Amino acid sequence: MMREAHVQGLAMAVIADGKVVLLRSWGRRNVEKNLPLQTDTVMYGASLTKLAFAYMVMQLVDERRLDLDRSIAAYLPKPLPEYAFYETLKADARWRQLTPRIFRGICKLRIPGTGRENAAALRTGKALCVFR
């Protein structure tokens, strides 16, 4: 199956009742150097982290510890513009409209002149973008 999909390496852990019952790896971690993939090899997770994060957020919703439609202001220890990275929002109170539900639809935006991207944004009239 790995050969058909052109997968060079695969690692798997099966966890049951909080205990690892199977930990195994197959293939190569570096094809050019012919290095085998090991069970402790650190691998790039790519967008898999989005799925894991979404699952954890929804667990908080199920536990009624997070409301997807409540302003993020209710969850922050201080107003968002008081954090250095978001100080440009001080004059724009629309940041209080941001909710966890808005952040679920992450879109990629490039910040002109910085090369940074991967932002969640609320766009109404004059653009309000919260970059991370």
pLDDT in tens, 72-130: 999 999 999 999 888 888 888 888 988 888 877 654 444 444 444 433 333 333 344 44
Among 49-63, 64-78, 108-122, name the one with the lowest average pLDDT: 108-122
- pLDDT (mean) for 4-25: 94
Q: What is the pLDDT of residue 27?
A: 96
Q: Give domain limits for the chain.
A: 67-131
Provide the pLDDT for residue 105. 60
Q: How big, in percent rounded to 5, are the helix, strand and coil portions of the chain?
A: 25, 25, 50
Percent of the chain with pLDDT over 70: 78
pTM of the model: 0.53
Sign of the dihedral through C-alpha 15, 18, 20, 25: positive
CA distance 110 to 115: 6
**Which pLDDT score is estimated for 40?**
94
